[in-house]
Amino acid sequence: MPTLGAIAKSMKGRFPIRRTVKYLSRGDVVFKDSVKVMTVNYNTCGPLGEGARKFVFFNVPQIQYKNPWVQIMLFKNMTPSPFLRFYLDSGEQVLVDVESKSNTEIMAHVRKILGKNKDTLRREEQEKQQLSHPAHFGPRKYCLRECICEVEGQVPCPGLVPLPKEMTGKYQASLRADTQD
């Protein structure tokens, strides 16, 4: 658990909560696989572009966290009104006008037209869980356990705690040899 001093040192800048994993994982816009690039044109002043500015400041990090393979580009003060443009893999471009909209409205709009819905996300989560069986043994990267000796209640690893003599193969082999003799 980091100390209060460490937390205070790392939480610097305007709204440092935007840099926390908890905040980023709260974003619920997961783009469809066909979306490759998202560009945001907005202005730094003007009452009508306030929603776009807030969208860029608060919501774009969440979107990028949930869609690490989507390229996001921001352009400032290039056009009189703010808009979003999405480039799909089929070459289609989707224009979204965001003038006089709040950042929550923009997020809802984007989620509706180009985001995966909750059913799709749940199905993908289930498929991902099915790929990883909790009962499998193997490398730590893919499985929960590498050996049965890690499970509580089982025989401990002979590399750490020597096995009793009766359970070793050489003792049983010597017993068999003695009986044969």
Which span sits near other proteins by CB under 8 A: 62-70, 89-97, 147-155, 163-171? 89-97
* CA atoms of 142 and 129, how far apart (whole Å): 12
Which span sits near other proteins by CB under 8 A: 23-31, 65-73, 94-102, 161-169? 94-102
Nearer to other proteins, 28 or 99 (CB): 99
Are 40 and 73 in contact by the 8 Å Cβ rule? The answer is yes
How many residues lie near other proteins (CB under 8 A)? Answer: 12
CA distances from 15 to 10, 18, 56, 105 (A): 12, 6, 13, 21
Could you tell me which residues come within 8 angstroms of residue 27 by beta carbon, excluding any fewer than 6 positions away? Answer: 59, 61, 62, 63, 65, 66
Nearer to other proteins, 66 or 101 (CB): 101
DSSP H helix total and E strand total for the chain: 7, 4
Shortest separation between residue 142's beta carbon and other proteins, angstroms: 16
Site for other proteins in 63-82 (CB under 8 A): 81
Alpha-helix residue ranges (DSSP H) falling in the chain:
4-10, 21-25, 50-54, 60-66, 103-114, 118-131, 169-180
Q: Does 97 bind other proteins (CB under 8 A)?
A: yes
For other proteins, which residue of 17, 113, 157, 175 counts as binding (CB under 8 A)? 113
For other proteins, which residue of 99, 108, 143, 149 counts as binding (CB under 8 A)? 99
Which span sits near other proteins by CB under 8 A: 22-30, 96-104, 129-137, 152-160? 96-104
Which spans of this chain sit near other proteins (rule: CB under 8 A)?
81, 94-97, 99-101, 109, 112-114
